[in-house]
């Protein structure tokens, strides 16, 4: 098959540039291209803020519902007052919001694939990594916005951090790291499923996974047969680590994961990234096979 | 969809049409050439560059406009074009200028800062086309550019494509509509089951098929055999009889003159004809003429706008 361009002159056929300088140039373009893609997704938050509002709806309602309606009862189950329970609850909700972000990522990717936007990107001379990396960058930025709103909400209902700003920032860093890892799960799922309906079904699986964790109650009140699942849930490690770093009410279980929550709050996201970045990248390349 | 023996050579500065029913391999061919699909045999060169070994270089010389308007729904038309400019590595300033130029050229300046959500189907398609032209590509791939568009939007897209070709761009176009190929293409390849089964100018292909079909509707089912006999004699090909519609049709040569002969013959046979019409050849006719069987699910020239599944 030959499709010739205008002009019959023989076109120079350059090889792909090699060597360290070319490599640095390509890396520079990869960053620039990813930034352009990230800005596209962030512009969506501004022009169509319902995604952001939707993401925040669940944790904000949860603060009101679990903090105030069930707060005393939940606290009583743990042997603490409602106020202490709210301190206990907020880090759980921060992490929950990070997990629910998977839904937004998946739906955005599915929509782009379905509308042919991904095809168009793939015919541009941009860095092949730019679309996925750009999406993950945008997700981390929008997660930061989510967290700022939720921290404000927490402060309104009496939640505080007690271990200084450095520790508080470290906790936020761990939450963003978790979101970054979840983003790549979302991207992978978005490339895997067909159509937003299928994505919604998958998302309903995220719901129990985000609940069977340290989110709302300490794992020790979870039935014994389910407790290991909750303890080893990546969400739990981040929640426990954040409670520790914020100096909030916490109940640290006997298990090894609970004892090493800080370590696991770093290790888990890195493991997830190590698995899902290659999976998503391979899947993206395979769109053409 | 497997391709098996697709040979295409497109002259620079012309429009080449790929015509065929759903699943014939049109989309697959375009996707291979636009670096979207890998292939395991054969050779493909686009704008002088080998597709398999230099996909990135190919991408910097082509524009690709797929079956769906692949633009960002939420951003404005201007921001869409600026974004694609940046991704083509035009730089911030040049991207902005290029967006203004393209908006003007495609008559979208008035809607430039509105969200694409508010655009009509034709406006979206024009923006989509503009996005494929950010780089002023040597080769432009258009995959069913007017499927699902109303006649006015379709005419707008045709006009835009003609202007591009006048400016020297080479266009490879897939279509289910014979009329579209007729209006735009300098040459046409007819695809069937992953193979090119005919190639030539649109007129050449049509003349191979014949002048068109005469359709006769009779008043009574009892007259169908007589009408079929008359048409069969005139056409030299077995006529088709549709009992429910009381309709007989057959290919005829000679256009209007052919029709006159048929009318006279029917009159001589003393038939009570309800309706008679000469239908221009459709893709289905081309198919029937070339393969002796109907193309399946083929949109006719009036454009029922059946969407093709991506193969």
- Dump pLDDT digits (tens) for B216-259: 898 888 888 888 888 888 776 778 888 888 888 887 776 677 78
Per-residue pLDDT averaged across A130-137, rounded? 96
Range in A34-38, A92-96, A145-149, B180-184 the model is least confident about: B180-184
The pLDDT of residue A7 is: 39
Predicted local distance difference test score (pLDDT) of residue A74: 85
**A9 to chain B: closest CA residue:** B48
Q: Would you tell me the crossing angle of helices B202-209 and B283-291 to the nearest 10 degrees?
A: 60
Percent of chain B with pLDDT over 70: 88
SS3 state of residue B9: strand
What is the phi-psi region of residue B91: left when phi exceeds 0, alpha when psi lies from -120 to 50, beta otherwise?
Answer: left
What is the spatial distance between Cα B281 and Cα B297, in angstroms, rounded to a whole number? 16
Tell me the pLDDT tens digit for each residue of B122-147.
899 889 999 999 988 989 999 988 88
In this predicted structure, the answer to whether residue A13 has a pLDDT above a threshold of 60 is no
Q: Which of B44, B49, B64 is opposite residue A123, by nearest beta carbon?
A: B64
Task: Judge whether B196 and A29 are in contact, CB under 8 Å.
Answer: no
Count the neighbouring beta carbons within 10 Å of the beta carbon of residue B151: 10
CA A8 to centroid of chain Cα atoms: 52
Q: Which of A192-206, A223-237, B235-249, B275-289 has the lowest mean pLDDT?
A: B275-289
Residues of A in contact with B63 (CB under 8 A): 123
Question: Would you call B73 and A115 a contact, using CB atoms and an 8 Å cutoff?
Answer: yes
| Contact (Cβ atoms closer than 8 angstroms) between residue A135 and residue A109 | yes
Decide if A46 touches B, using CB distance below 8 A: no
- C-alpha distances (whole Å) from A239 to each of A91, A215, A227, B33, B72 are 6, 7, 15, 50, 36
Q: pLDDT band at B283, cuts 50/70/90?
A: low
Q: Do B74 and A126 touch (CB under 8 A)?
A: no
Which residues, listed in sequence order, are joined to residue B196 by a DSSP beta bridge?
A: B191
Pairing of strands B273-279, B212-218: antiparallel
Q: N- to C-terminal Cα distance for chain B?
A: 6
| Cα B133 versus chain centre, distance | 19
Q: Do B75 and A43 touch (CB under 8 A)?
A: yes
pLDDT at B232: 83
The answer to whether B175 faces chain A, any CB pair under 8 Å, is: no
How confident is the model at residue A18, as a pLDDT? 63
Average pLDDT, chain A: 88
Query: Which residues, 6 or more positions from B287, have their beta carbon under 8 angstroms from its beta carbon?
Result: B21, B190, B192, B293, B294, B295, B298
Q: How far apart are CA B61 and CA B46, in angstroms?
A: 8
Whole-number pLDDT of residue B268? 86
pLDDT, tens only, A176-192: 999 999 999 999 999 99
């Amino acid at each position: 098959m030959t499709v010739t361009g205008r002009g019959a002159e023989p076109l120079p056929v350059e090889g792909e540039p090699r060597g360290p300088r070319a490599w640095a140039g390509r890396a520079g373009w990869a960053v620039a291209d990813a930034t352009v893609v990230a800005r596209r997704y962030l512009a969506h938050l501004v022009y169509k803020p319902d995604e952001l509002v939707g993401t925040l709806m669940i944790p904000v309602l949860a603060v009101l519902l679990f903090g105030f309606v069930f707060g005393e009862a939940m606290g009583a189950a743990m042997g603490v007052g409602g106020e202490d329970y709210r301190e206990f609850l907020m880090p759980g909700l921060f992490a929950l919001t990070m997990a629910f972000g998977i839904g937004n990522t998946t739906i955005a990717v599915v929509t782009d694939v379905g509308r042919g936007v991904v095809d168009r990107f793939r015919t541009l001379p941009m860095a092949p990594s730019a679309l996925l990396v750009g999406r993950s960058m945008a997700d981390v930025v929008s997660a930061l916005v989510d967290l700022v709103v939720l921290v404000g909400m927490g402060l309104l209902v009496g939640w505080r951090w007690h271990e200084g700003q450095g520790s508080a920032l470290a906790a936020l860093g761990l939450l963003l790291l978790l979101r970054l890892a979840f983003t790549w799960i979302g991207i992978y799922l978005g490339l895997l499923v067909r159509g937003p309906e299928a994505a919604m079904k998958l998302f309903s699986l995220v719901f129990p996974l985000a609940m069977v964790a340290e989110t709302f109650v300490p794992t020790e009140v979870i039935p014994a047969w389910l407790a290991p699942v909750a303890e080893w849930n990546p969400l739990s490690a981040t929640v426990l680590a954040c409670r520790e770093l914020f100096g909030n009410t916490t109940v640290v279980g006997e298990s090894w994961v609970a004892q090493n929550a800080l370590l696991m709050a770093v290790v888990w996201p890195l493991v997830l990234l190590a698995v899902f970045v290659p999976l998503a990248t391979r899947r993206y390349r395979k769109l053409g096979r | 969809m497997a391709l098996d023996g697709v040979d295409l050579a497109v002259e620079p500065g012309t429009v080449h049409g790929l015509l065929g029913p759903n699943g014939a391999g049109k989309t697959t061919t375009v996707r291979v050439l636009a670096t979207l699909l890998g292939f395991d045999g054969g050779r493909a060169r686009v704008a002088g560059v080998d597709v398999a070994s230099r996909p990135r270089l190919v991408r910097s010389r082509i524009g690709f406009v797929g079956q769906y308007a692949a633009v960002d729904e939420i951003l404005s038309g201007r921001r869409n074009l600026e974004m694609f400019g940046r991704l083509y590595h035009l730089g911030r300033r040049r991207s902005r200028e290029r967006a203004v130029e393209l908006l003007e050229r495609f008559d979208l300046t008035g809607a430039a800062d509105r969200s694409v959500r508010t655009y009509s189907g034709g406006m979206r398609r024009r923006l989509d086309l503009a996005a494929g032209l950010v780089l002023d590509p040597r080769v432009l791939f258009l995959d069913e550019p007017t499927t699902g568009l109303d006649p006015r939007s379709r005419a707008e897209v045709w006009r835009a494509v003609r202007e591009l070709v006048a400016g020297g761009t080479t266009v490879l176009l897939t279509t289910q509509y014979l009329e579209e190929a007729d209006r735009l293409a300098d040459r046409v390849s007819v695809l069937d089951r992953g193979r090119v089964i005919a190639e030539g100018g649109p007129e050449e292909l049509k003349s191979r098929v014949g002048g068109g079909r005469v359709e006769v509707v009779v008043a009574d089912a009892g007259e169908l055999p007589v009408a079929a006999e008359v048409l069969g004699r005139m056409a030299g090909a077995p006529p088709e009889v549709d009992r429910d519609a009381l309709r007989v049709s057959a290919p005829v040569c000679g256009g209007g003159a052919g029709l006159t002969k048929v009318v006279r013959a029917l009159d001589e046979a003393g038939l009570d004809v309800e309706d008679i019409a000469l239908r221009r050849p459709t893709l289905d006719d081309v198919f029937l003429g070339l393969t002796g069987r109907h193309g399946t699910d083929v949109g006719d020239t009036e454009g029922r706008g059946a969407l093709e599944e991506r193969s």
